[in-house]
Amino acid sequence: MLERIVIDKAVEDIWGYLVKTWATGDAYVPDPADAAAKVPAEKLPIPRDLDEMKAQLQLCGLADGVTIPEHIKGLAVLQYSPDTLALRLPPRAMVKEGEERLAAPGAYPVREFIRAMFVDPTLKELSPAERLRMHACRIGDYSVTSCI
């Protein structure tokens, strides 16, 4: 079975803030050294390779919370314009593994923030800050999952 990137639940929002920073060029990531500050966006350019990404994970305090499997050797960052349809095709092996896992008995794993979005009736009661945290979690999850 191919290991997948793992974003620890404790840092899924910070990972999402990092992805939002890459996508927008604006500073979203809380500074691990100063909770009242953000890591400057100019220190977090879109990474061009895994080493650059890992250095940014370290800078953001995510090095222990984001696990990149050993079999991953490269990085492809895709950003497109609103007038472009982006079709992200998952690797064939991951589709086949997903089918096997879903055909086997057991629970379908769903991240807690996703469950809260669709099951928790108080979601509409979230504060704007909590909604923005949820937004960051969704963006971060979207950026690395293959929906399989």
Structural domain contains residue 1: no
Cα separation of 26 and 20, whole Å? 8
Number of domains in the chain: 1
DSSP state, residue 122: T
- pTM for the model stands at 0.84
The predicted structure's pLDDT at residue 122: 63
Q: Are 136 and 16 in contact (CB under 8 A)?
A: yes
Taking 60 as the threshold, does the pLDDT of residue 81 lie above it?
Answer: yes
Q: Are 20 and 136 in contact (CB under 8 A)?
A: yes
Name residues whose C-beta falls within 8 Å of residue 54's C-beta, 6 or more positions apart in sequence.
63, 68
- Which residues span the domain enclosing 58? 6-144
Q: Nearest to residue 143, comparing CAs of 66, 59, 70?
A: 66
Give the pLDDT mean for 74-97: 90
- Condensed to tens digits (0 to 9), the pLDDT of residues 116-139 reads 767 665 666 778 888 888 888 888
